[in-house]
Amino acid sequence: MNVVLPDGKQLELPQGATAKDAAQAIGPGLAKAAIGAIVDGDLYDLLKPLPEGASGAKIKILTEKDPEYQPLFRHTLAHVMAQAVRELYAERGFKPEDVKLAIGPVIENGFYYDIDAPTPLREEDLPLIEERMRRIVADDLPLQRFVLPREEALRRFEGVDPYKSELIRDLPEGEEISFYQQGDERYGFTDLCRGPHVPSTGRIPPHFKLTSLAGAYWRGDSSRPMLQRIYGIAFRTKEELEHYLWQQEEAKKRDHRKLGAELDLFTISEEVGKGLPLWLPRGAFIRRQLEQYMYEKELEHGYDHVITPHIANSKLYYTSGHLPYYKDDMYAPIEIEGEEYYLKPMNCPHHHMIYKARLKSYRDLPLRLAEFGTVYRFELSGTLSGLARVRGFTQNDAHIYCSKGQVKDEFIRVIQLFDEVYKDFGISDYWFRLSLPDFENNPEKFGEPGPHWDEAIAAIRSALEETGAQYVEGIGEATFYGPKLDVQLRTVLGKEESIATNQLDFISGTRFGLEFTNEKGERETPVIIHRAIMGSFDRFFAFYLEHTAGNFPLWLSPVQAVIVPIADRHLGYAQQIAAQMRQNKLRVEIDDRSERMNAKIRDAELQKIPLILVVGDKETESGTVNLRERHAKEQRTLAVGELIEQMHKRVQERK
């Protein structure tokens, strides 16, 4: 068979050849440096034969200089860890078959293995396992790959490991059942595995670390056995590992759940219910500020605000398609006078009924309806996380009803509004994801392809190209009623998440019988844009809290300044300043505790209050304050009037 090299040259290889054979055919230097390959976009190791009929396949041999090879050594590390775990239990008097192994895949930044052991592992066992792993890596055990018939593979695990047996039985008939062995029968480890792997354990970089233990149900099913999961991280370089560990420590400090408790912003009460946050006074103030900001922005951009109820008749959600397509994510129905009602999972069906309240003309379009609407969705308790993943949340929601000819311009306006809002909040590292349907693999969700899908996708692409917005594509990420444009960003952990969305809907207008009279006097169905600039206020608040580490700008801070009198005799002057600032609608507190000045200043810094105003004899006599500004090294002395003027300017500019 012929394969094509990156420079376009063709290489003749025998059937059944591996990437290792290809590297050797190219030259001895590359054969020595080779660690894996990319074949037609798929990652291969040096041991697995190239696919049958691979003639014309594009192949690139990977060396340790290529970052694409990271999944190879991370996967092999999962096997090395499994071998080390069995060694640890052997030292404790257990047999190898006493430690049953489930799965050990590669994940972002590392790997894990799920095990069913005779006694639970503890955190203090991780360094012991890691020490054995480093010895196995240093021993440079070669890896071998072999294939067994189904029955022989099953016999290998019969009565020994029910997890591997189940995996084999679930493989489709005719699928190859492969194993990887590192080392030999005397000293080594063999596992059921598709691969790919590095050629030997010595090719694994030493920059890895075991990080944590967790519980995990077998195959994610709560009715199946609970296994113990061991997590590890691994990188090509020491610098990458150290940066990741630093990032994790920084993320712990910035975790919105930790900051939420420390700064008295929100709480979760088991008595109220999981995933149903309670906003404390300071957090509620910030949220109100976010809402007021968006309210003013949306008015500027031609939106009309509406209010809709928290429940609706089941008929509404059958019409919208939520009950057929989305029922598992909705709460159970409430029976009222023989009819079923549901807590609303989305605001859009309610807005459609507002549109339908009276017949529209083309002169009424585009109609932009906005609402800070609270919705309720059933999330598994294990997925809940502070404000980032909740069961009740308030969306910064809006629906734009327009003609087909207005779609592109309206979509561009929304993209520009995203840019405007995020710039005001200092958020620059974000991009868009064009979320598309997957008709082939998920027809039950997306139905059949058709003109409405083609038109919607073409309109979004055209808007993106005209604005020059940075975007990627995500197959299968669309909603059941149309493609969408998601706003993607990285959290403090470096993880990519969607924070907001902009969806184009050519379907719901027909479902609800929405119409307008066009210029010719004919009835026409509007196109609907579902738009949420901040997504939900809850999720945006969580992200922004972590993004700022709780150091909110002056206009958002619940307490903008704290006055620290040096002694009790300065308290009267502090009260005069506070009264003057409050008259100017500034938020100020006085720390009149009988603590030392430095302790008061430290407490104010821990509460992340933007301005600390220290007053003593000198300030009292001169009518000034000693200003200590968050993150500023230098202290300044300002007249009270000048301070108020500067604060007003910063609040108005929302800097």
Q: Which residues are catalytic?
A: 348, 377, 395, 397, 399, 484, 530
In residues, how long is the chain? 655
Question: What sign does the dihedral 89-92-96-98 (CA atoms) show?
Answer: negative
Cβ pair 81, 27 in contact under 8 A: no
Place of tokens 């309109």: 459
Report the C-alpha gap between 176 and 147 in whole angstroms.
7
Is 348 assigned to a binding site? Answer: yes
Is 434 in a helix, a strand, or coil?
Answer: strand
Task: Count the Cβ atoms, other than its own, within 10 Å of residue 160.
Answer: 14
Measured distance CA(536)–CA(543) in Å, rounded: 11
Residue 351 annotated as lining a ligand binding site:
no
Helix, strand, or coil here: 217? Answer: strand
Note every long-range contact of 210-214, with CB atoms under 8 Å and residues 24 or more positions apart, other chains counting: 210/81, 210/126, 210/127, 210/129, 210/130, 210/133, 211/110, 211/126, 212/123, 212/126, 213/121, 213/122, 213/123, 213/126
- Whether 402 has a binding-site annotation, put simply, is no
DSSP letter at 64 equals T
Could you give phi then psi for residue 644, rounded to 5 degrees? -60, -40
HEC string of 126-171 equals HHHHHHHHHHHHHCCCEEEEEECCHHHHHHHHCCCCHHHHHHHHHC
Number of other CB atoms surrounding residue 545 within 10 Å: 27
Rounded to whole angstroms, how far apart are CA atoms 486 and 504?
11
AA letter at 362: Y
Residues 6+ apart with CB under 8 A from 626: 613, 614, 615, 616, 619, 635, 636, 637
Compute and round to an integer the Cα radius of gyration of the chain: 31
Are the beta carbons of 268 and 386 closer than 8 angstroms? yes
Tokens of 651: 């609040």
Q: Which residues are annotated as a binding site for Zn(2+)?
A: 348, 399, 530
Q: Which residues are annotated as a binding site?
A: 348, 399, 530
